[in-house]
Amino acid sequence: MPSIVHFLLAALLVVASLAVPPAHSSGVSLPDLGEASGGVLTPAEERELGRSLLREVRRSAPLVTDPEIVFYVDSLGRQLLANAPSADGPFYFLTIDNSQVNAFAMPGGIIGIHAGLMLEVRDEAELAAVVAHEIAHVTQRHLARMFARGRDINFTTGLAILAGILASAVDPTLGSAIITGGVAGGIQQQINFTRANEAEADRAGMQILQGTGFDPNAMADFFERLQELSRGVGDQVPEYLRTHPVTLDRITDARNRANQMTASDTRNRGPEFQWMQARMQALQDPRRTLERFRATDTPSPQQRYGAAVAYLERGEPGRAREQLERLDAADAPGLTLELAFAALLREEGEHSAALERLEDLDAVYPGHPVIRERLARVHRDLGQPDRAIRILSDMIRREAAPNPELLRLQADIADAAGYIAISREAMAEYFFHRAQYEEAVRQFEAGMDASDASERDRQRIEDKRDTARQTAREAREDRR
């Protein structure tokens, strides 16, 4: 089997189609990766590829790391997955810290949702429609088939397009220019999803929506929303339209299919979406959030919550408390408001009170990742590193692909407590799961040499070091 890094670069060429305009509008043409009836990666190959791609994305892409938003997006994705046929392999739902209205799917079940998309959809059903569409690209094996045809893609061009993808996260114009330069060197055909792929993903996505209890009309509604956003903006159309072109025929087809379905008219499963949308807005732009809030005579509960989050983000706990105390618990998702008060207490330096509140929540929602992560931080604040490390170790063990943010937090807490072997091992895993393999090897070796490492620790760390060293060697060979 070709090396995973070669696979990775070929897959990134597929993903590049999600970051550049279609060939007919830009003059850029990308490699034809074949029809859906052609070769396909095996499920095992795709899973291996997905794990490597996930590490690369975590290293390179700007990700939203707020635990509440991460949990919400992941939960929505998992509920949709439960109603997606053939969703056998692992899936990873990532929120990209980018204001573009865009989403993408990558081989191995990686689904990316841009922050800008979450802020522009009008309800949870529209967000679910986009996520369901991207899930369908994976379950219908569009990515695996396209990728299998791209095994002989030029390595240098792959690097150029990878650079363009990363640049697009900061400046779409710059990213497109870099990609165009890489493509102009010799690739003359297109790899955007075919219209047949898009139609199939629409149909499968609407079935997923229906099975999850959402209004399937949300698919056509979102398409119309995209057209609204593109009016009068010239070339600055939503990025999603560049990679998933929306025509009147496509909207009509989606609307007709929805009308034929026996379906719910549910647009929001509960209040969580509006509150997480307000949280996203506050974290993305606290100043603008507060300007809008102050200009509103009768703010909604979600706007008031967003203002509280923005005040906390700006280090103004007194003003945040004023807004939170004016919220009626009956209007808010209970956990959301409780977490906000716990964050407020911590910002006010009331760590014992914050701990008590979080422990009460932990008893009601045992194992909830947001509560557990907040508990670890409060234990650290209270000078209880052993408890914090135990909580984080348990969370990390439960994850198939550990979250680097948890590993970094564990490393920092252990280092401050003088637990050098634990700190270096966690830091090594942090680097490994961000595709920084050489640095992971160095950190593992530092852990093996730590004075507080037991013989059992050294053996475990050595095994991990050997894995990282082999992965680093393969990465170097593929870059020659």
CB 12 within 8 A of CB 165: yes
Q: What is the Cα–Cα distance from 313 to 268, expressed in whole angstroms?
A: 27
CA angle 24, 18, 91 (to 5 degrees): 150
Report how far apart the first and last C-alpha atoms of the chain are (Å, whole number).
18
The SS3 assignment for 92 reads strand
Between 286-294 and 301-313, two packed helices, what is the crossing angle to 10 degrees? Answer: 140
Write the CA distances from 421 to 64, 358, 411, 450, 465, integer angstroms. Answer: 29, 29, 10, 5, 13
| H or E segment to which residue 114 belongs | strand 110-114
CB contact set of 415 (below 8 Å; sequence gap of 6+): 423
Comparing CA positions, the residue from 213, 209, 217, 212 lying closest to residue 255 is 217
123 as an active site residue: the answer is no
**Paired sense of beta strands 110-114 and 103-106, if any:** antiparallel
Q: Catalytic pick from 120, 124, 126, 134?
A: 134
Residue pair 230/241 in contact by the 8 Å Cβ criterion? yes
Residue 202 is among the residues annotated as catalytic for this protein: yes
Burial 218-242 (b: 16+ CB within 10 A, else e): bbbbbbebbbebbeeeeeebbbbbb
Q: Which among 146, 140, 145, 153 is positioned nearest to 33, based on CA atoms? A: 146
How many helices and strands (H and E) does the chain possess? 25, 3
Q: Are 30 and 179 in contact (CB under 8 A)?
A: no
DSSP classification of residue 193 = P
| Catalytic-labelled residue, pool 68, 126, 198, 202 | 202
- CB-based burial of residue 445 (10 Å sphere; 0-12 exposed, 13-18 middle, 19+ buried)? middle
Question: The tokens of 249 are what?
Answer: 């025929």
In terms of Cα–Cα distance, which of 473, 410, 478, 424 is closest to 453? 424
Active site residues: 134, 202
